[in-house]
Structure 1
């Protein structure tokens, strides 16, 4: 199970199912044992009330057991229905009788909290609406001032719980998305970093294995970059890296990718591109960089190594090695040139 709809990935989905199952199983067991203890002689409400509580407890245990047994195979709709069903089970005893469980309707906080933090926002708001509706029904059923006051207090608590939980979850998601993006982005150039590029290469190779079609890799390196840093300073070197990144990004096709894979090293992945076409594109890049950098404070040239699948490699690691070897050959040939694997 890879991705689940509504923004829940597989680990989050499994955790939500497991949490729901445990909550139902444990709380249902306590409710059933409490009802049995009352029947066994502990002072408490009438027998009809005890039977209702026992039935609710057994139902919760059964629902929880189903979720725990299904695990990752749990249908999405069943997980999303869990908080509403739980709210109904909590409010069932006072709806069929004037009596209430020891904890009462405040237990509605748990399904609302679960939906707000672990499920999509729409499920959280639906759960809140269902819970508020049940509270109104309980207040009308008891028809006392105390019941109305309790329902209002609990209802306000549920609204605050959903609002705060959903707001915190949005902030957490935004923070996680930012951290993930920063972990896969080179901070200087804004291009993908080596980690992101390796993942992309693996993904594109998987597509190649399923659908065929050649793919090529250009290993790009700035010529005499150390000399540039030594003579003009590191700020000048950084400026050259940023400017080159912009040129490469501007001359990449839709569907292709470019990344900064090292200090002055870049890589361009060309999908559906045979070796011959990749070489011609490498020569064109060489000319573009030389022409555009002529107006920079510190003009540069680049060397490019070209390798392709299936011509030069049969796996991602082999493709990278072949392109790097070709890059070394281009530098050995005098730099500012293209060499193929």
Structure 2
């Protein structure tokens, strides 16, 4: 077999394998292909893999797996939010796996514009289409900018940073990552011995906004619910609290484990049957052994569930 390039180690791999149980005759959807770490492990276990990714730069990794497993692997260029539509004509799948967030492969490519540590165009688009991070910081007004910095980045000084951005862009537009990082750092009064760069939260917020990551995740989870048959397995790895909270809330709702109301209040009859059963309570985090070889796993969490025979709930009103 050819050696596929491996620019990063897939996080929580052993836990994901345990949750997914890939085996000969099984069909697994790797909804966030990236560099193919999970896909390769599923293929090595004998499963068939259908991979999804909207990032065109992952093609070399897909080509390598296609050469190694021509009968059992294929990549579909699509966002994971399109999972239900893409797989509409496929036979039922046995598992769907998500690894949410930007990969170290993308962070290491300065030209992608994700990193505040490497100079590159202020882009951040996974698909290379649509509004870029530069478009946002150069055109959005103060209120919306401050809002996404606070909501998606949990940045306490969101208003101050938005003010600094508007003031600077009057002189010239933002085009480079380090330019924006420097403005954010100056707005916050420098690093002052902080363990993380002052622009960390702003860059995270911009990346989430540019790629509609939370909307994509919500639609992806609903899509997985739609395509998985009874006994189908769902595994989701997240890297920050916003994503993990969304997955937790989705599974809490779909497993029927929502908190009950007051015993004095009228009882509400729940007409929907649970569409998932949890594989385990809470989340699985990285072991000390994994963290020693893969620090990227520090904030990773895995949640997993098994599809019941109940109809999919579909999209619910907010």
Q: TM-score, normalised to structure 1's length?
A: 0.24
Structure showing the higher helix proportion among its residues:
1
Find the structure with the greater CA-based Rg: 1
Q: TM-score, normalised to structure 2's length?
A: 0.25
